[in-house]
Amino acid sequence: MAELSLIDSYRTVVASRIRAQASYRLSFTVETFNSILVGIVEFAEIYVLLANVPQLGGLTLAQAALVFALANLGFSIADMIFGQLDSIPQYLRLGKLESFLVRPMPLMTQMITSDLQLRRLGRALVGLVILIIAWALLGLPMTPGTLYLLIITPITGAAIYGAMFTLAGGIQFYVIDGAEFTNAFVYGGGYAGQLPGSVLLMPVRVLFTFVIPATVTAYLPALLILGEPGPELLPSWLGWFAPLFAIWAWLLAGFAWRSGVRKFTGAGG
Q: What is the pLDDT of residue 268?
A: 53
- pLDDT tens per residue, range 22-50: 666 777 777 778 888 988 998 998 888 88
Per the domain annotation, does 107 fall within a domain? yes
> Is the pLDDT score of 6 beyond 70?
no
Least confident of 59-63, 176-180, 238-242: 176-180
Using 50, 70 and 90 to split pLDDT, how confident is the model at 1? Answer: very low
Q: What is the pLDDT of residue 185?
A: 79
C-alpha span between 117 and 134 (Å, rounded): 28
Per the domain annotation, does 140 fall within a domain? yes
Domain extent at residue 167 = 2-263
> Is the pLDDT score of 145 beyond 80?
yes
CB 65 within 8 A of CB 133: yes
Q: At what angle do helices 61-82 and 179-193 cross, to 10 degrees?
A: 140
C-alpha span between 238 and 208 (Å, rounded): 13
Residues 6+ apart with CB under 8 A from 86: 165, 168, 179
Phi/psi at 22 (5° precision) = -70, -25
Share of the chain above pLDDT 70, in %: 87
Distances (CA, A) of 103 to 31, 84, 98, 200: 30, 18, 9, 44
Per the domain annotation, does 269 fall within a domain? no
- pLDDT tens per residue, range 171-216: 888 887 777 777 887 888 899 999 999 988 899 999 999 999 999 9
Residues 6+ apart with CB under 8 A from 83: 117, 120, 165
Q: What is the pLDDT of residue 24?
A: 67
End-to-end CA distance of the chain: 33
pTM strictly above 0.75:
yes
Per the domain annotation, does 89 fall within a domain? yes
Per the domain annotation, does 268 fall within a domain? no
Q: What is the pLDDT of residue 255?
A: 94
Q: Classify the C-alpha dihedral 213-37-139-64 as positive or negative.
A: negative
Q: Please count the structural domains in the chain.
A: 1
